[in-house]
Amino acid sequence: MSKSAKTDDRPALFDDWIVAEYDRTEGFTALVVLLAISELEVVPLRSTFVHVVGDDLSWHDFYELMSGAGVAWQGVVIMSAPDVDGGPIDDAQARAELADLEKRIIENRLVINEGHFFDQWGRRMKVEEAMPN
């Protein structure tokens, strides 16, 4: 896994990403999966969803919110789920999409790269396949 890797043209820091994502979607639901990270493993710990209705959420504020999960996490993947007309999706749809995301991540950790993967300091990361020795 490469840490703090900027992938394609997406912002490398959470604070820049949240502004760009809000501008792009005019609000969205963030599907959030907290992750434990070791040298060769990424393990999902807890998940939730958050309706984002502005771009003023800083990494510090987000980190404080996620601290309430009660687990030691080292990374987070966030999938943006905007409504077709812009703005957040409804709670029932968010729960269903989050359950699907959790299942997909458990089946294949590379799914994390489809979203926005940040370390505990708000820097973008990427999961890479481990090669057998």
pLDDT of residue 38: 87
Helices (H), 58-107: 59-67, 91-107
Structure tokens at 12: 């490398």
Return the amino acid letter for 72. Answer: A
**pLDDT of 9 over the 90 cut:** no
Structure tokens at 45: 């710990």
**pLDDT of 16 over the 50 cut:** yes
**pLDDT of 66 over the 80 cut:** yes
Percentage of the chain lying above the pLDDT 70 cut: 92
**pLDDT of 76 over the 70 cut:** yes
pLDDT of residue 10: 77
pLDDT of residue 132: 62
Question: CB count, 10 Å around CB of 106?
Answer: 11
For residues 21 and 118, give the distance between their C-alpha atoms in angstroms, rounded to a whole number: 15
Query: What is the radius of gyration, based on Cα positions, of the chain?
Result: 14
pTM over 0.85: yes
pLDDT of residue 133: 62
pLDDT of residue 57: 93
Mean pLDDT, the chain, integer: 91
pLDDT of residue 49: 97
Q: What is the mean pLDDT of residues 62-66?
A: 95
The residue extents of the domains of the chain are: 14-119
Stronger pLDDT, 50 or 131, i.e. the higher one:
50
